Chain A
Amino acid sequence: MADSDVLEIPIEIRAHDSEEIRKLLSEIDAAEEKLRSVKTKKGTRQKELPSTGSGAPIKYDGTEQDTRGGVFSKFQPDDVLPINFKPKDVTSRQPMQRENEFKRLRAEVERQKQQQNIIKQEQQKTRKMIEPLDLLLGGALLGQPSAGKILGGGKALLGGGAGMIIGVLGDVIKKIIPYLGPALIAWGIIELIIDALIQPGAPFDRRWRREMSKELANLTERQEKQSIAQGLRAIRIAPYSSIRDEAPSINLANLRNGRMIYNQHIELLVKHI
Chain B
Amino acid sequence: MSLQITRQRLNSARSRIEKFIDLHITRWVKEEILESIHESMRVRGFSDNAINALTVEKTGYMKASLIWDYRGPNNEPIHFFIEFQTHPHIIKAKGRLFGGADALHWVDQTGNNVFAKKVKHPGTTGQFIVTNGYKENRNKLIARIKQETENYMMVEQIG
Binding site for B on A (CB under 8 A): 1-3, 5-18, 21-22, 24-25, 28-29, 31-32, 35
Contact = CB atoms under 8 A, between A and B. Distances in A.
A13 B145 contact: yes
Q: Top 4 nearest A-B pairs by Cβ distance?
A: A7-B68, A6-B69, A9-B66, A21-B14
A35 B77 CA distance: 61
B134 A24 contact: no
Contacts of B146: 16
Nearest to B82: A7
The residue among A6, A13, A17, A29 with the most chain B CB atoms within 10 A of its own CB is A13
A9 B10 contact: no
Given A6-B79, A7-B80, A12 B62 contact: yes
A10 B59 contact: yes
B149 interface: yes
Given A7-B79, A17-B153, A21-B13, 12 more contacts: A2-B59, A5-B80, A7-B69, A7-B130, A8-B68, A10-B63, A11-B64, A15-B145, A15-B149, A21-B10, A21-B14, A21-B17
Contacts of B139: none
Interface residues of B, number: 37
A64 to B, nearest CB: 25
A258 B60 CA distance: 81
A11 B66 contact: yes
A247 to B, nearest CB: 67
B155 interface: no
Contact of B29 (A6, A7, A11, A28): A11
B76 to A, nearest CB: 10
A7 B128 CA distance: 11
B65 A10 contact: yes
Contact of B7 (A1, A3, A16, A28): A28
B116 interface: no
B141 A11 contact: yes
Given A9-B134, A28-B6, A2 B17 contact: no
B51 interface: no
Contact of A1 (B11, B59, B145): B59
A8 B29 CA distance: 14
Contacts of A13: 21, 25, 62-63, 145
A16 B143 CA distance: 12
Interface in B141-159: 141, 145-146, 149, 153, 159
Contacts of A15: 17-18, 21, 62, 145, 149
The residue among A12, A24, A31 with the most chain B CB atoms within 10 A of its own CB is A12
Contacts of B13: 21
Contacts of B62: 12-15
Contacts of B63: 10-13
A69 to B, nearest CB: 15
Contact of A6 (B17, B68, B159): B68
A25 B68 contact: no
Contacts of B7: 25, 28-29
A28 B65 contact: no
A31 B6 CA distance: 12
Nearest to B11: A25
B114 interface: no
A24 B79 contact: no
Interface string B1-29: 00100110011011001100100010001
Contacts of B141: 11
B29 A5 contact: no
Contacts of B57: 2
Contacts of A14: 62
The residue among B25, B59, B153, B159 with the most chain A CB atoms within 10 A of its own CB is B59
B139 to A, nearest CB: 13
A24 B67 contact: no
Contacts of B130: 7, 9
Contacts of B69: 2-3, 6-7
